Amino acid sequence: MRKPIIAGNWKLNKNPKETAEFVAGIKGKLADPAKVEAVIGAPAVDLQTLIDAAKGTDLKVASENSYFEEAGAFTGETSPKVLAEMGVDYGIIGHSERREYFHETDEDINKKAHALFKNGVTPIICCGETLETRKAGKVNEWVSGQIKAALKDLSAAQVASAVIAYEPIWAIGTGETATPEQAQEVCHLIRETVAGLYDQTTAENVRIQYGGSMKPANVKELMAQPDIDGGLVGGASLQPDSFLELVNYQG
Ligand code: PEP
């Protein structure tokens, strides 16, 4: 059984003070951790505050980005080794904003996945198509290509423990959500791609999130889809109340 995982992605929002206030606002109100995993992805400058504030709660912590080298002359980068030492649980990689604005390639994302695994941090690997790709009828080849590239040379055990986030770019931050059927179709395709690359057991274990304007009003129907195991959530993760509504979607 795959445990649902709801992960916030704060992007370039919140300072350490706001981070601590957010955690104070959700303390004692998270869903049973046996039923759903709650994660917040925060900017690197907030991670230590988030880790400290989350101590004694069931909240897990994610970085929003990390480099594939652990140390050296890489000004401004974030070391996966240091993230692990700090106690970061998950590392978001390959977000479409990183791909678009910071020119990250599939190869970079694959190297980052290897570096996170080497250090014991679980990657949340993002993929997803633009509206043009969807209109051209090329979603399947685009997304499966991203998945194949991101997973290159990872072991079946690593992939089984990873999280893949399907985020159609046209639905991110736009208020436009993919229909549950559209989201399910691509999440299923991702699982089939993993089955083809590895085996059925690996495919059945890897958790697949949907991301793109997930909010309290649509979380239940998205989470009801058989291949959707969670959400990667931007806007609706910024306020404690709406984050709690998402995490507590099972009622
Ligand atoms: C995201 O940040 O990955 C995302 C899906 O954002 P939003 O929920 O705001 O669309």
Residue-wise pLDDT tens digits, 159-169: 999 999 999 99
Residue-range definition of the domain harbouring residue 109 = 5-247
Burial of 143 (0-12, 13-18, 19+ CB in 10 A): buried
pLDDT in tens, 6-37: 999 999 999 999 999 999 999 999 989 999 99
> Which pLDDT score, from 0 to 100, does residue 175 have?
85
Residue nearest to atom 6 of ligand 1 (CA): 234
Q: Would you say 212 is a known binding-site residue?
A: no
Task: State both tokens at 132.
Answer: 């043009």
The yes-or-no verdict on residue 177 having pLDDT over 90 is no
The yes-or-no verdict on residue 1 having pLDDT over 90 is no
* Total count of domains within the chain: 1
Q: Would you say 66 is a known binding-site residue?
A: no
Cα(186) to ligand 1 centroid in Å equals 17
Angle between helix 16-26 and 47-54 (nearest 10): 20
Q: Would you say 10 is a known binding-site residue?
A: yes
Q: Which residues contact 168 (CB under 8 A, 6 or more apart)?
A: 128, 129, 134, 178, 182, 183, 186, 212
Whole-number average pLDDT of the chain: 97
Atom of ligand 1 nearest to the CA of 171: 10
Specify the pTM. 0.98
**ipTM score for this prediction:** 0.97
| H-helix segments, 151-179 | 156-161
Atom of ligand 1 nearest to the CA of 165: 3
The mean pLDDT of 76-96, rounded to a whole number, is 98
The yes-or-no verdict on residue 176 having pLDDT over 90 is no
> Which pLDDT score, from 0 to 100, does residue 63 have?
98
Task: State both tokens at 75.
Answer: 């000004």
The answer to whether 114 is a known catalytic residue is: no
The mean pLDDT of 68-95, rounded to a whole number, is 98
* Ligand 1 contacts CB of residue 214 (under 6 A): yes
The answer to whether 95 is a known catalytic residue is: yes
Atom of ligand 1 nearest to the CA of 231: 5
- Terminus-to-terminus CA distance in the chain, angstroms? 19
The CATH number of whichever domain residue 70 belongs to comes to: 3.20.20.70
Which of 97, 214, 238 is the pocket-test mutation for ligand 1 (most atoms within 8 Å of CB)? Answer: 214
The mean pLDDT of 122-150, rounded to a whole number, is 97
> Which pLDDT score, from 0 to 100, does residue 224 have?
98
Atom of ligand 1 nearest to the CA of 11: 2
* Ligand 1 contacts CB of residue 92 (under 6 A): no
Closest CA to 156 of 111, 201, 104, 193: 201
Out of 37, 95, 97, 129, the active site residue is 95
Q: Would you say 234 is a known binding-site residue?
A: yes
Cα(172) to ligand 1 centroid in Å equals 5
